[in-house]
A and B are shown apart, each in its own frame.
Chain A
Amino acid sequence: MNFDKEFDASGMSCPLPILKTKKALADMASGQVLKLISTDSGSVKDMQAFAEQTGNSLLSTDEANGKYTFYMKKK
């Protein structure tokens, strides 16, 4: 999937992946896509909740070898 920015939050625990996502999205334009990588299993549900609450769209969530990859489109 195409993306405009990438942030690797590997090794970070709750709530850092969410806070870093928020920061990463801050200087992006509407419609741009952020790729976020996390190793925190809690971030799967947290990213869903973040998307629901903030109105940004979570395009996909994938897991491979303990790494979670999220694509989020900025509102």
Chain B
Amino acid sequence: MSSKKMAIIATKGTLDMAYPPFILASTAAALGFEVQVFFTFYGLQLLRKDLSTVMISPLANPAMPMPVPMPVMVQMLPGMESMATMMMKQKLKKHGVASLQELRDLCLEAEVKFIACQMTVDLFEFDKSEFIDNIEYGGAAMFLGFAGDTDICLFV
């Protein structure tokens, strides 16, 4: 039986939006899927060696549950992003949710293939040395070559 395949396009670089691609990719790999994740635009942040810059912002994020209601004027203040990120990370830890780093490592261990969009790497003038080593660089056509033959294809 040939294994099922899943392709994910990860376009967001915030803490909350980083979880779905890593959770789905690692779980699918555990279920025996062949998985590729294409990181483009802000999603490239998720391939950095240092994930500490991946943050969450309460600003323009009205669905984010807050311990106390917070007016937009307060959310704009300096340091609010760091505070929200710290609180979210504490919450994730308390509930036994894996860190992004751990999920990403589990993906790589399970041979999930990560592809960084070469065009966006050039566009944002990223230095490849900032990214983790075991990834490939490619374009839309390369990704679609795999995605066209998958059972599940998601845009996150």
Task: Name the A residues within 8 Å of B26 (CB-CB).
Answer: 15, 19
A19 and B31: CB pair below 8 A? Answer: no
Q: Is chain A's interface secondary structure helix, strand, loop, or mixed overall?
A: helix
Judged by a CB distance under 8 angstroms, whether A59 is at the interface is no
Residue of B nearest to A39 (CB): B96
Task: Output the nearest chain A residue to B1 by Cβ-Cβ distance.
Answer: A55
Interface size on B, residues (CB 8 A): 12
Size bin of chain A's contact surface: 10 to 19
A residues near B, CB below 8 A? Answer: 11-16, 18-19, 21-22, 39-40, 49-50, 53-54
B residues near A18, Cβ cutoff 8 Å: 27, 30-31
Mask of B107-119 contacts with A, CB within 8 angstroms, 1/0: 0001000000000
Report B126 CB to chain A, min CB distance, Å: 29
